[in-house]
Chain A
Amino acid sequence: MRKYLLKRVFYMILTLFLVATITFFLMKLMPGTPFTNQQKMSAAQIAVVNKQYGLDKPIWQQYLSYMLNAAHGDFGTSFQFSNQSVSYLISSRIGASAQLGIQAIIFGVVLGIIVGSFAAINRNTWIDTLCTVLSIIGKSVPNFVLAVLLQYYIALKLNWLPVAGWNGFNYTILPTIALGVGPLAETARFVRTGMVDVLNSDYIELARAKGMSRFGIVYHHALRNSLTPLVTLIGPYTVALMTGSMVIENIFSIPGIGEQFVKSITTNDYPTIMGVTMLFSAGLVLVILLTDIVYGFIDPRIRLAGNEG
């Protein structure tokens, strides 16, 4: 297991290195430079600032010095956000994003499993059809549309929850729902399909022959076996929530990373773009490793293979 983990960590670092390299050069291909937008600066002033940030050097030199600094944990200073260091910018904003993301994924996956199981147990009845229709709606309505609808009806009309802002748990409810409905719908569909298969299998019939109740069969036998394929989806979900959160954070004025990321791109704020990209990539790579480990816990057959490999 230890050898396996070491190997995986090595590949993770390699992946991050490649992502950093590709992003760096792609970023330099973007039109504009960080300071051309600010018309009040004279050409001479821009040259001074460029020199100060090392932007006058050839791109490969910039790349080398960025990578060297990054390896030492220095991700540079933002060009736009009051000259703060990127590390500080991210760490002061990551809390809101992480909380929102985690809440949304828990809300989506847990409820999705319940809805999906419920549909599978009542397959080919009106309950199943209803769940299917709701899932398709949940998946196809963009989360920003849902966000605005929630704001209008729940917050403005009914006045149950705050419209926007970030000031306690009540403020997190609407954005969590808006962000979590997509994963919820997809989880429900996935779990339903998996569980219908599992419920038709011989070991479920054997469980019935043991005299177990319907709930007991679903809870003890069907659920775990239907969840294995779902674990694969959690990686992509995390990505979806990260990117999705940019829009949602904007709509609900949540001081998170997503909002900052959008701004940094429109202003060619190179260090911030790099910093946030690296953070997202690191998160994703970590989630993929975690899902592989979780796989083993859910399905003993995979655990064995992992130990041998």
Chain B
Amino acid sequence: MAERILDVQNLKIDFHTYAGEVKAIRDVSFHLDRGETLAIVGESGSGKSVTTKSLMGLLANNAKVKGGRVMFHGDDILQYSEKKMQTIRGKDIAMIFQDPMTSLDPTMKIGRQIAEPLMKHKHVDKKKALEQAVEMLRLVGIVNPEERVNDYPHQFSGGQRQRIVIAIALICYPEILIADEPTTALDVTIQAQILDLMKELQQKIETSIIFITHDLGVVAGMADRVAVMYAGEILEYGTVDEIFYNPQHPYTWGLLNSMPTLDSKHLESIPGTPPDLLDPPKGDPFAPRNPYAMKIDTEKKAPFFKVSETHYASTWLLAPGAPKVTPPAEIQRRQKIYAKLKSGELSRTDVANLAE
């Protein structure tokens, strides 16, 4: 059994706004094992970024943690003071942000920006820290790092800047790296490069990654496990194969169904909009948009039903005695692949080739 490095239990976060309390995170639990990549997938406003910000203690002023624990090395870091969080941030838990064009300080040489966490956390003097920054730049694939270390952010392209942001995050060899949509703002070709770089560095630096994205296509090649988030709740989680080829929650079906494939005649979408979290629904938050919804879905939230040791989904469709429903054709196709995977007829690489 892998070592649990981070354990989030029953996290609840509210935002105080003029309109009232927005219940952004409603009872979210997940864990992260050492060395693995966990993808948190969800559409905008599902609470994925808020969740990760709470892990870093970087929540906005109007956010309030209403309950739950975030266990890291046996301590609940939600209880830590700002001063104590500063000793963890950037050292044990580091973060990569979405937009590399704005996440670097325009008036500071990038070498200094990379060296800063070392000087702060490891008390390395400036000269040594800059030497290590050069090495880190080389590691993230910046050509001619000895000279470029003295350049300013505006002298780099978007992809290079994201490499620099990654260098900043990894300079202290953190145990956990949180990547909040790290490729959303980049060109598709650069996206692939950055994802490859992250996978490569994960091996070298032995870090665990929490990967936040709304792009399921990115998840497939990147993650070990996936948690699907919707309206401040996790609806389903499992290994990447289980989520991609044996999804159980109708929302996951909808997400996978709306992923374009080469044969797609037109783009599928999930009709409707997410619920208003000022007044969240009692039952399954996806019920109003769910063509398979039953009466109980609107009244009571389903518990997590176990599909396998690693796979759980919160939908009444898994309850004993629930009616059998036929998932969309695309999901049936995926389930067939899953069956072949299980029986050994197809290997993991075959599936990867299929996806291409």
Contact = CB atoms under 8 A, between A and B. Distances in A.
Contacts of B155: 304
B40 interface: no
Nearest to B61: A124
A208 B107 contact: no
A203 B161 CA distance: 12
A34 to B, nearest CB: 54
Interface residues of B, number: 32
Interface string B88-114: 111100110101001111111000000
Given A209-B94, A211-B86, A211-B88, A301 B117 contact: no
A206 B105 CA distance: 9
Nearest to A213: B86
B79 interface: no
Contacts of A213: 83, 86
Interface residues of A, number: 24
B165 interface: yes
Interface in B45-84: 56, 58, 82-83
A21 B120 CA distance: 59
Contact of B168 (A206, A208, A301): A206
A53 B154 CA distance: 61
A225 B117 contact: no
B56 A225 contact: no
A226 to B, nearest CB: 10
A211 B117 contact: yes
B88 A300 contact: no
Given A205-B58, A206-B97, A211 B89 contact: yes
Contact of B87 (A201, A211, A228): A211
B112 to A, nearest CB: 9
B107 A209 contact: no
Contact of B106 (A211, A214, A220, A225): A225
B67 to A, nearest CB: 24
Contacts of A206: 95, 97, 103-105, 165, 168
User: Taking chain A's interface residues, is the majority helix, strand, or loop, or is none over half, making it mixed?
Assistant: helix
Contacts of A299: 106-107
A209 B108 contact: no
Contacts of B120: 210-212, 216
Contacts of B108: 220-221, 224
B34 interface: no
23 contacts: A202-B97, A203-B103, A205-B58, A205-B103, A206-B97, A206-B168, A209-B56, A209-B58, A210-B89, A210-B116, A210-B120, A210-B168, A211-B86, A211-B90, A211-B91, A211-B120, A212-B90, A225-B106, A225-B107, A228-B107, A299-B107, A300-B106, A301-B154
Given A209-B169, A210-B117, 18 more contacts: A202-B97, A202-B99, A203-B102, A205-B58, A205-B103, A206-B97, A206-B103, A207-B116, A210-B90, A210-B116, A210-B168, A211-B89, A211-B91, A216-B120, A225-B105, A299-B106, A300-B107, A300-B152
